[in-house]
Amino acid sequence: MNVVTIACKNLKRKKIRSTLTIGGVAIAVAVLVSLLGFDRGYQQSLTGNIDKMGYQLLVTAKGCPYEAATMMLKGGGGLRYMEQDIYEKIQNDARIDKITPQLVSTAYDPDRLEGQGGFAMYMGITDSYLELKPWSKFKSGQWFSSEAAEEAIMGYEAAEVEQRLVGDKIFIPNIDKVLTVVGIFERSGTQDDGIIFLPLKTTQQIFSLPNKLTGVGIKLKDIQQVGEFEEDLYEEPGIQVISMAQVRGTILNLISSAKVMANSVAVIAIFIAVIGVVNTILMSIFERTREIGVMKAIGASAADIFKLIWTETILVCTAGGILGSIFALLGSGVVEHIIKKILPYAPSGQLVLIRPSLLFGAFVGAIILGIITGIYPAWRAASMRPVEAIRTGE
């Protein structure tokens, strides 16, 4: 017999009440863990996505830079066009390590998604594209046979959606063009997975966009020179330069207000859970007033009673913490799904990242919560005077 077994038995006495209280804590903890997991997961996915674009700077036609940036992250480009001349002009700048021109076009395909209809995204690229993304690997097939070949390389998911293998034909709706699939990329975990890549020249030709580009991705030799380089390009008419670091900051800013709101919800949930715990424990000690008096009569000191009630509170909170962590783990898929629908921009990858350290934190946090919330009820119980307690309810 020790304080924990006695406390457990007390909690089991009113099973429904204890369960509901633990449930309240569990929900609050689950919400908090999910949010914190989201916080980490989102940043990490976003950073990962941006890193995997391979370039630090993106030159696009003038327009809303954020719109362009988001479009770019979503799949390659705002659909404004710039002249290829600019690419020719800047490509020999000594500060540039790698540079790649891109031309994105979309086509509405009424047969996509089992007849629901949807946009297919095409991106014209050159050999330099792979230099910026050295991690890109072919799942099957290979690179285009020539600069203007009527061929396509499909991203992993695009190939799955369209159910194409190397050697198959793909049909581009609206412009009635048929291309041959020569390669399929392995999954990269980025937006590239959903894109159908064509040679740049082919794209310009079949979409009737001669000498047009939607963007130029640039990787500098020295990342310190980003600012300077950006400034030099201000001179060029009709274009803008977007640094991916800025994009990252902007997107994080965009979601920060949503995060503040969600965090307030979590804080309120914790607050309500704490009130619930204090209420339950207080109720149970008032119901047990006489019992507490009897315990004191048979030798329990105020400290013994304090420990007992404190332990009960800590047990409730700890159980809630563990249960809440389990809820958060099990529910992270659902939460992720909801978040992806709500957010203005959701990077690919795992958005709700619940690491063991986070779970451990939740566990410790719940215990601390119990330690703090338990003080008042424990003190109330401990300071009951034995005679009065015993005479209560006689």
Q: How far is the CB of 288 from another protein (least distance, A)?
A: 9
Count how many Cα atoms sit within 13 Å of the Cα of residue 269 in the half-sphere of its side chain: 22
| Residue 39 C-alpha from the chain's centroid | 7
Q: Which residue, 6 or 233, is less far from another protein as judged by CB?
A: 6
The Cα–Cα gap between 68 and 60 comes to 8
Cβ closer to another protein: 340 or 385? 385
Task: Name which of 209 and 294 has its Cβ closer to another protein.
Answer: 294
Q: Which of the stretches 56-64, 86-94, 246-254, 383-391 binds another protein when contact is defined by CB under 8 A?
A: 383-391
Residue 341 as a binder of another protein (CB under 8 A): the answer is no
**Within 13 Å of residue 382, how many CA atoms lie on the same side as its CB?**
17
| Distance from C-alpha of 61 to C-alpha of 212, rounded to nearest angstrom | 10
* Relative orientation angle of helices 356-382 and 244-287, to the nearest 10 degrees: 30
Burial of 5 (C-beta count, 10 Å sphere; 0-12/13-18/19+) = exposed
Closer by beta carbon to another protein, 145 or else 392: 392
Closer residue to another protein in complex, CB, 15/341: 15
Beta bridge pairs of residue 98: 219
Q: Which of residues 164-223 bind another protein (CB under 8 A)?
A: none
Shortest Cβ distance from residue 303 to another protein (Å)? Answer: 9
Residue listed under structure tokens 């190939």: 159
Shortest Cβ distance from residue 279 to another protein (Å)? 21
The reply to whether 6 sits near another protein by the rule CB under 8 A is yes
Rounded Cα–Cα distance for residues 326 and 166 (Å): 43
Query: Should residue 386 be labelled a site residue for another protein when binding is judged by CB under 8 A?
Result: yes
* Candidate ranges 4-12, 116-124, 269-277, 351-359; the one touching another protein (CB under 8 A): 4-12
Cβ closest to another protein, residue 1 vs residue 94: 1
DSSP type of residue 343:
S
* 356-382 vs 15-51: helix crossing angle, rounded to 10: 150
| Run of H or E including 145 | none
Q: How far is the CB of 9 from another protein (least distance, A)?
A: 4
Among 40, 143, 304, 380, binds another protein (CB under 8 A): 304
301 binds another protein (CB under 8 A): yes
Which one of the spans 161-169, 223-231, 256-264, 384-392 is the region binding another protein (CB under 8 A)? Answer: 384-392
Instruction: In angstroms, give the least distance from the CB of 330 to another protein.
Output: 32
Stretch that binds another protein, among 217-225, 264-272, 287-295, 344-352 (CB under 8 A): 287-295
Contact present, 101 and 55 (Cβ < 8 Å): no
Query: Minimum distance from CB of 12 to another protein (Å)?
Result: 7
The correct pick among 114, 176, 235, 394 for binding another protein (CB under 8 A) is: 394
Q: What mask, x for binding another protein by CB under 8 A, covers residues 8 to 47? A: -xx-xx----------------------------------
Q: Compute the radius of gyration of the chain from its Cα atoms.
A: 31
Identified binder of another protein from the candidate list 2, 92, 163, 257, rule CB under 8 A: 2
Q: Is 387 near another protein (CB under 8 A)?
A: yes
Sign of the Cα pseudo-torsion (12, 13, 18, 19, in order): positive
Q: Is 295 in the site for another protein (CB under 8 A)?
A: yes
Q: Based on CB atoms, which residue is closest to another protein, 3 or 329?
A: 3
Among 115, 210, 299, 356, binds another protein (CB under 8 A): 299
Burial class (CB in 10 A: 0-12, 13-18, 19+), 109: middle
**Amino acid residing at 54:** G
- Nearest of 118, 135, 43, 137 to residue 75 by alpha carbon: 118
Specify the 3-state DSSP secondary structure of 361.
helix
d(CA 82, CA 104): 12
Q: Tell me which residues touch another protein (CB under 8 A).
A: 1-2, 6, 9-10, 12-13, 290-291, 294-302, 304, 385-387, 390, 394
